Each structure stands twice: as structure tokens, then as C-alpha cells.
Amino acid sequence: MTLLGVALTALLAFSPLALGLSSTLEQVDDFGDNPTNVGMYYYKPENVTENPALIVAVHYCTGTGTAYFEGTPYAQLADEYGFIAIYPSSPNEGTCWDVSSFETLKHGAGGDSYGIASMVGYAQTDWGVDPARVFVTGTSSGAMMTNVLAAAYPDLFAAGIVYSGVAAGCFMSSTGGVDAWNSTCSTGASTATPEQWANVVYDMYPDYTGEYPRMQEYHGTADDALEYPNFAEEVKQWASVFGYDAESPVQTLEDTPLEGYTKFVYGDRLQGISAEGVGHTVPVQGEEDLKWFGII
């Protein structure tokens, strides 16, 4: 096969037709305040419902919004259930998300989180998205951003799902560095009490008095990038926010949602899911996500 033939084959593999989609991935250039120039891509199916739900799906390091669209099932599920999906694209070198700077970790202060929050406002104003049915999820760096968004912009999201991340604020840079790596956190050595972790959340939006998004945290026991002890720190953080006991789940479900996965239910607003032997990252669960979001 010629190089042109290879290129055309690759292009077809990611075309809407090949993916079985009713529509195409589109881009919005001007969607509101966006201080770090985060890219906004979205998928709106042909059969989008009135006042639709919205899923913000946040990619991993080295990824892009386009890659996360291609590699996750949300577009196909959008065709089936009529919601809209947004795929933010990181502006940073290496395409990790800024989950470390002072700005991104404070409500309304700037950073990548602010740009993503602006996308939600645009979707509500221009597409009639139901404000009560806005959800966020992500993988790896996108998982870290999911926890940050749930903490810094809790008024925007009803629920979040985290695939292999760290607690909100765990990557905080002591110098306020943008997109800074934090080896202490990544190795699972950043530990704190549940109350201390909850205070990190509260400090991101000090004036907020409303409910925080329902959270579901996935982590693999063999994760060698964002190591497994981070799972316990994430659970401690949100358990304290919701008033649960991180040491005493009210229900433990083995082989759920897959064989080798254990789901710990702490209350109706928090679940932790441990994936035995799974490395970095835990695969996206698709329809299970929609169940947590209440779309199905």
C-alpha cells in the first residue's frame, strides 16, 4: 500500500462514518473567557434532545480533544441518548493539564480550569444545555483536572468520574508553576487527613455554600504513573466533603463493574472503584458512566 493509501486508511478509521456516528467533531474558537487558550471541540448528535445533558470529557497527557473523542465511547453514546459532549484540548507543551498553578486551583482566577468552565457557560447559553445535567470526566491528567473542576467550579457540575487521577490540589506547585510535575504526589507520598484534603477543596472556592458534584473515583492497583496510594487520598478528600467515613464504606461490591474490580460505596454521593492488576490507566467504562451521571 502506498503512503497515500495508508494515510487515507487512517483517516477513514477516524471518520464519522467509520465510527458509526451521525455527526462530526466540531470546534468553537470564541466561547468566552479563556486566558490560557484551551481548545474547545464538541460532538452534537443529529438527534440531540431538548435541554440536553452535557459531558465534558478531558484527555490525558500527550492526548488532545480530538484523540479523546476518537478513543472514548461518548460520541457513540451521545448518538444513542441525545446528549452533547465537549472535548477540551490542552494548550500546554506535552498536552498535560495545568492542575498546579495558583490560578487554575482558584475559582474564577484563570488557568486551564477557567477556560473549561467557560465552555460550560457557552453550552448552556448557545445550545440550551440543562444546567442540572452537566457532568465531567477524564483520564490521567484529565482525571486530575476532573477533581480540580469539581472543587473549583462545583456550581457547574452535577457529577464527576475520575479515571486514574490524584486528589484535587495534590499537584499544587509551591511556586505557582503552570503545568508543573509533582513527584511527591505522583508517587502517592502526598498524604493528609480527610479534613485537610477537604480544606484544599474548600480553599478553591471559599465563598461556595452549595452541594459538590457526586464523585466516582477509579484507580488501578498496578498504576506506576500516578501510584495506587493516590486512590485512598482521593477517597479521603471527597468522603470528608460529603461527611462520609473513608475507612468504612457502607457497601463493598466485588467484581463490579468488571471482574477484578471492587466498588466501595461510601454514600449516595461517593464511590471508589479499585481495579486489581490494572495499570495506568483504567479503561473508560462508557455506559457505566452514564448510569452514574443519571443519563440512563
C-alpha separations of 47 from 14, 209, 219 in Å = 21, 36, 34
**C-alpha span between 20 and 42 (Å, rounded):** 17
User: Which amino acid is present at 7?
Assistant: A
Q: How many CB atoms lie within 10 A of CB 253?
A: 14
Strand partners, 39: 89
Q: Is 22 a catalytic residue?
A: no
Q: Which of 100, 140, 164, 190 is catalytic?
A: 140
C-alpha separations of 13 from 8, 63, 73, 78, 175 in Å = 9, 18, 15, 19, 44
Strands 270-275, 25-28: pairing kind: unpaired
- DSSP-based three-state secondary structure for 254: strand
Length of the chain measured in residues: 296
Q: Which three cell numbers stand for residue 125?
A: 447559553
- Give the helix ranges, DSSP H, for the chain: 3-13, 16-19, 65-71, 74-81, 111-127, 141-152, 183-186, 194-204, 229-242, 287-293
Active site residues: 140
